[in-house]
């Protein structure tokens, strides 16, 4: 229909592009600590365990506040929550520039995790309330594409910032300031730019608002009538939720392993300068973006989810195993395959749980799945740091990540019948 195409164009322009920018800053805020480590660890005397603990402390507060943040999103609406969250995380992110001890590093990382808690849940919840399910895979993956883009662009940008000096600040300090403060500005903009629901969208015509509101409500009603999970209690008691959570845990374990340790791995094996390492680090993330984009398009076209997610996880498992054990240049090829697989799986993962969550169940279910999944960020960096220090090599840590991807693939199978019935297009489309 003409109105459908018109609404979709407006949604992409008004929502996807803006959320893409927000998620790019969110992802850059995650990865910039790994580039800061190239100078900061030596400057402040941090060893691998101290750095790993600081990275992990972010996830303590981030995880604990997942469900409370989700309930606050439902209580205050996406506009207020999103604007406040951006401001409150931009400030401690910039303040990391003034870290002078490991204790201060730990405290700021903890505060940053608290400020960012619920952001991922908010984005999934936001897109679920605006995009019909037949377009949801593309909308979500377009947003998550910001993660590899932030590394591809942010890696050389961060490397450039690391070369700065002046004003009594080292390069890593300038990097935190210049990458943290724009988030505060976007938080203020979000308060005036974001609408909570299609009914409030002044940038849609009345027929467009009516069509989109009816479409979204009809789809949400069909999930409820098909036995969808609609309450916090149902979320906590659902095996479907916990299977999805375990699979996301495995996926994020591999993602955070590459996110936080890849520059240090490449520094060890390549003997490049900091700027050279930042350029090399971008290559697997290009592959991640390619996998994410094309897999989501194919998944939306075929209306199939499980094998598009599971296939990506299997590819990542193989790629990480090759990256750990093969000689150069095949190890780099393995990391490219791993990046492509992680991106392919991550881009459309949320289409699976959104097929059986509805109402309050969306916010609570996404929060619980995020809580379990992102606990990999708490466990992973510490486990990798411990294995690296115990073995003197990155081989065992990388094989550990490979095995986790295989486990995540197996955990998808309890959802296979649910996924088949939840992605069938509505009659007449």
pLDDT of 13-41, one tens digit each? 999 999 999 998 888 887 788 888 888 98
Give one DSSP letter per residue of 255-270, joined into a string. HHHHHHHHHHHHHHHH
Query: Is a pLDDT exceeding 50 seen at residue 288?
Result: yes
For residue 369, pLDDT beyond 90? yes
Task: Give dist(CA 80, CA 215) in Å, integer.
Answer: 25
| Beta-carbon-side half-sphere exposure of residue 155 (alpha carbons within 13 Å) | 22
Residue with tokens 């008691």: 237
Residue at token pair 């992110």: 93
More confident residue, 224 or 132: 132
Residues in the chain, overall count: 429
Distance CA 92, CA 82 (A): 16
Alpha-carbon distance 53 to 379, whole Å? 10
Helix intervals (H) in 45-101: 48-64, 66-76, 78-95
> How many Å apart are CA 303 and CA 189, to the nearest integer?
35
**What confidence tier does 109 reach under pLDDT thresholds 50, 70, 90?**
very high
Contact between 213 and 198 under an 8 Å Cβ cutoff? The reply is: yes
Q: Which two tokens stand for residue 369?
A: 């799945």
Residues 74-84: tens digit of each pLDDT: 888 888 999 99
For the entire predicted model, the pTM comes to: 0.78
Q: How confident is the model at residue 418 (pLDDT cuts 50, 70, 90)?
A: low
Domains of the chain: 2-422 (1.20.1250.20)
- pLDDT per position as a tens digit, 51-95: 888 888 887 888 889 889 888 888 888 889 999 999 999 999 999
Pick from 401, 394, 385: nearest CA to 50: 385
């Amino acid at each position: 229909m003409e109105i459908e195409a018109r609404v979709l164009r407006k949604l992409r322009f008004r929502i996807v592009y803006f959320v893409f920018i927000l998620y790019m800053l969110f992802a850059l805020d995650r990865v910039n600590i790994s580039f800061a480590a190239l100078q900061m660890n030596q400057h402040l005397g941090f060893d691998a365990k101290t750095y790993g603990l600081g990275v992990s402390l972010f996830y303590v507060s981030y995880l604990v506040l997942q469900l409370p943040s989700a309930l606050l999103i439902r209580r205050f609406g996406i506009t207020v929550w999103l604007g406040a969250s951006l401001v409150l995380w931009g400030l401690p992110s910039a303040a990391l520039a003034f870290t002078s001890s490991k204790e201060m590093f730990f405290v700021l990382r903890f505060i940053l995790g608290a400020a960012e808690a619920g952001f991922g849940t908010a984005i999934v919840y936001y897109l679920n309330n605006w995009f019909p399910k037949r377009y949801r895979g593309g909308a979500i993956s377009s947003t998550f594409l910001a993660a590899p883009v932030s590394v591809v662009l942010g890696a050389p940008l961060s490397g450039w910032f690391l070369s700065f000096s002046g004003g009594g600040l080292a390069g890593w300090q300038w990097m935190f300031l210049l990458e943290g403060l724009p988030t505060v500005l976007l938080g203020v903009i979000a308060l005036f730019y974001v609408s909570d629901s299609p009914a409030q969208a002044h940038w849609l015509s009345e027929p467009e608002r009516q069509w989109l509101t009816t479409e979204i409500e009809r789809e949400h009603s069909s999930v409820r009538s098909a036995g969808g999970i609609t309450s916090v209690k149902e979320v906590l008691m659902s095996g479907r939720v916990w299977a999805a959570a375990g699979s996301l845990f495995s996926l994020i374990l591999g993602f955070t392993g590459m996110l936080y340790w890849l520059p240090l791995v490449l520094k060890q094996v390549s003997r490049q300068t900091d700027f050279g390492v930042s350029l090399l680090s971008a290559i697997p993330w290009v592959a991640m973006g390619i996998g994410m984009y094309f897999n989501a398009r194919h998944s939306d076209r075929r209306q199939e989810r499980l094998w598009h997610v599971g296939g990506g996880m299997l590819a990542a498992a193989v790629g990480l195993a090759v990256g750990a054990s093969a000689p150069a240049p095949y190890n780099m090829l393995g990391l490219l395959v791993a990046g492509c697989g992680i991106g392919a799986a991550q881009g459309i993962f949320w289409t699976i749980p959104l097929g059986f969550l509805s109402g309050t169940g969306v916010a609570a279910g996404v929060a619980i799945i995020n809580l379990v999944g992102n606990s990999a960020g708490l466990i992973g960096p510490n486990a990798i740091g411990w294995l690296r220090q115990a073995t003197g090599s990155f081989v065992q840590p990388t094989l550990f990540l490979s095995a986790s991807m295989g486990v995540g693939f197996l955990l998808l199978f309890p959802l296979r019948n649910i996924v088949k019935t939840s992605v069938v297009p509505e009659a007449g489309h």
